[in-house]
A and B are shown apart, each in its own frame.
Chain A
Amino acid sequence: MTTAATTRSAPSHLTRLKRRTGGGEALVGFLLLGMLVFIAAGAPWIAPHDPEAIATGRVLGPPDLGHLFGSDALGRDVFSRVLYAFRVSLSVAIGSVILAALIGVPIGLIAGYRGGRVDAMLMRPLDLLLALPALLLAIALIAIIGPGALTVLVAAALIYVPILARVVRGSVMVTKQMPYVDAARARGVAERSVMIRHVLPNSVGPALIQGTVLMGFAIQIEAALSFLGLGAQPPTPSLGVMLSDGRDVLTQAPWVEIFPGLAIAVTVLALTLVGDGLRRQLDPRGMAR
């Protein structure tokens, strides 16, 4: 009887977890992302080798037990380098979205809530930013402040501010029409509180989803800029730099190229799944559950 009870309660836990995270794939996404964040944070302890240690005896060595992902043109351990590079990429991704949200969300909130001239004054300059191609903007910024992981973070944030501001503004414009906003005013809640306490929490959903998607893009932007030599500077390992290095030895030692590429793909996949799950979770039609 007890076994029957446990087997019956086990799937109900899983169902509850699935529901809370917004579906099976999203659960996979959350677990994957959690694992990736754990790996990124624990890189110094997990990495079996020094990512910058050059070993002439192991140039382009194939994967084996000591070197899971093989070694690159300078004999450095690809597994350790992927771990460290991933750490940089994920920090840039998360940091850029947080920085962009800190600036973009308040702008979008005020623009959408106040409307009219305030809206125009806040959003027009951002539209200008939006009109420029993202990578071009990033390259221009790097030309001004110089290359480096931090610059990439700021550049990605700059690209994301107008995107997040637009998303928030749009949902604020819908939310502020809701009867409960008028009702809050009718209860004598001050305008600022109405905006921050009632409009904002009901408007951040889309921005949250957009944020996870943008994190995925940030990984790609960081890789692209590093690939071009504009991101993290050697010897700091970076997924983009590794891709660039691996390209030269693609035919002889494909593992140098494949594993950093896989790391990017898996991270973007995890973020997309999480974004999807959040969207399903925050869908107003799912509210009555």
Chain B
Amino acid sequence: MRALLATPATGRVLDVQRLGVRFEVQDDVVSAVSNVSLTIDAGEIVGVVGESGCGKSTLAMAIMGLLGSTAHITGRVELLGRDLAGLTVEERRQVRGDRMSMIFQDPLTSLDPAFGVGDQVAETIRAHRTVTPAEARARAIGLLESVGIPAAATRYSDPPHRLSGGMRQRVVIATALANDPALLIADEPSTALDVTIQAQLLSLLRDQRDARGMAILLITHDLGVVAQLCDRVAVMYAGQLVETATVEQVFRAPRHPYTQALLAAQPSAGLARGSLRVIGGQVPDLSDPPPGCRFAPRCPLVRPECDSPPELLAAQPGHSVACWADPATHPGAAATASSTGAPRGAAA
């Protein structure tokens, strides 16, 4: 089965080109993800940040091929150089859990309550490798130990509810690592856990990346997690990427007004009580998004060009932004900058 996809010499693990996902809900068409392009190389951790409902999880599910028949997918997803759309249903199954795997948000519900935790790891191995049950069991115990579960052999048959949340998420990580994937998609892996456990799990993910050299696509709304763990960041807003850059670039010099607002909205310890910064306005309705830039109704730098959609363009090496007001990608933009600086929504 490993022959299906082999890591190419370039080290490019995932190449997403102009991915779009539309859902037809009754008479409405909701475009949850539009025109997303993203690449990840082996050993890289790329964060996708954005607020709730911006399409992060849909993007992850689309890459995994787990969206139901109500989803219409456009664009191209290449894993290890193979276009996943060209695979049969059975080939896609063989890829899932083997070459790419996924960690879900809630460890409390992403393990089957009727199964022993070790069995779920062993099942993942047996879905992809021809091994005897005893071999699968031995490997599963080894994996559970490697993700830091003490006395894994005695824990093997315990149902998930006997384990704490942090331990359960470790089991989930063990199932995801079971077949040494080239790509691990982690959808808010630490959101449901408390802060100390969060930190442990994030360092576990980093260690596993270092040991295995796999690529990680980390989906989160937590910029702190991004800063700790990621090499590169893609900022998503209303189903589109608005900025991609290295972590350094994003935190030092964010280019997109949304990214800037998002960073400014991070609470810090020194902040006076009651002075939390917020981004005014609301996320647009994705069944009827603004025709141009989707952030325009909330943007302080809004200008006439914003009525047509901006392209994601390179402002400098490794740093791309989709904004008409960005001086590097749209020279002369500064000259026409709106003098009021008031968001359009507020003026109307």
Q: Which residues of A contact B (CB under 8 A)?
A: 178-180, 182-191, 193, 197-198, 201-202, 287-288
Q: How far is the CA of A182 from the CA of B104 in the complex (A)?
A: 9
Q: How far is the CB of B253 from chain A (nearest CB, A)?
A: 36
Given contacts A187-B175, A202-B112, 20 further A-B contacts (CB under 8 A): A179-B109, A182-B104, A183-B102, A183-B111, A184-B112, A185-B66, A186-B96, A186-B97, A186-B102, A187-B97, A187-B124, A187-B127, A187-B176, A188-B93, A188-B124, A188-B128, A189-B97, A189-B124, A189-B127, A197-B115
User: Contact: A186 with B66, CB < 8 Å?
Assistant: yes
Interfacial chain B residues near A287, Cβ < 8 Å: 113, 161
User: Contact: A183 with B95, CB < 8 Å?
Assistant: no
User: Contact: B112 with A187, CB < 8 Å?
Assistant: no
Q: Does B299 contact A (CB under 8 A)?
A: no
Q: How far is the CB of B279 from chain A (nearest CB, A)?
A: 29
User: Contact: A183 with B64, CB < 8 Å?
Assistant: no
Name the residue in A187, A193, A197, A201 with the highest tally of chain B Cβ atoms < 10 Å from its Cβ: A187
Q: Does B101 contact A (CB under 8 A)?
A: yes
Interfacial chain B residues near A179, Cβ < 8 Å: 104-106, 109-110
Interfacial chain B residues near A183, Cβ < 8 Å: 102, 104, 110-112, 172, 175
Q: How far is the CB of A183 from chain B (nearest CB, A)?
A: 4
Q: How far is the CA of A184 from the CA of B123 in the complex (A)?
A: 9
Interfacial chain A residues near B25, Cβ < 8 Å: none
Count the A-B residue pairs with Cβ separation under 8 angstroms: how many?
A: 75
- Overall SS of chain A's interface: helix
User: Contact: B127 with A190, CB < 8 Å?
Assistant: yes
Q: Does B114 contact A (CB under 8 A)?
A: yes
Interfacial chain B residues near A193, Cβ < 8 Å: 127
Q: How far is the CA of A201 from the CA of B64 in the complex (A)?
A: 25
> Which residue on A lies nearest to B98, using beta carbons?
A188
Q: How far is the CB of A274 from chain B (nearest CB, A)?
A: 21
Interfacial chain B residues near A182, Cβ < 8 Å: 66, 104, 110
Pick 8 A–B contacts, CB within 8 A, sort by A. A182-B104, A184-B112, A186-B102, A187-B176, A187-B178, A188-B94, A201-B114, A202-B113
Q: How far is the CB of A148 from chain B (nearest CB, A)?
A: 40
Q: How far is the CB of A174 from chain B (nearest CB, A)?
A: 13
Q: How far is the CA of A189 from the CA of B112 in the complex (A)?
A: 13
Interfacial chain A residues near B161, Cβ < 8 Å: 287-288
Name the residue in A179, A191, A197, A198 with the highest tally of chain B Cβ atoms < 10 Å from its Cβ: A179
Which B143-188 residues have C-beta < 8 A from chain A? 161, 172, 175-176, 178-179
Q: How far is the CB of B267 from chain A (nearest CB, A)?
A: 29
Q: How far is the CA of A13 from the CA of B135 in the complex (A)?
A: 38
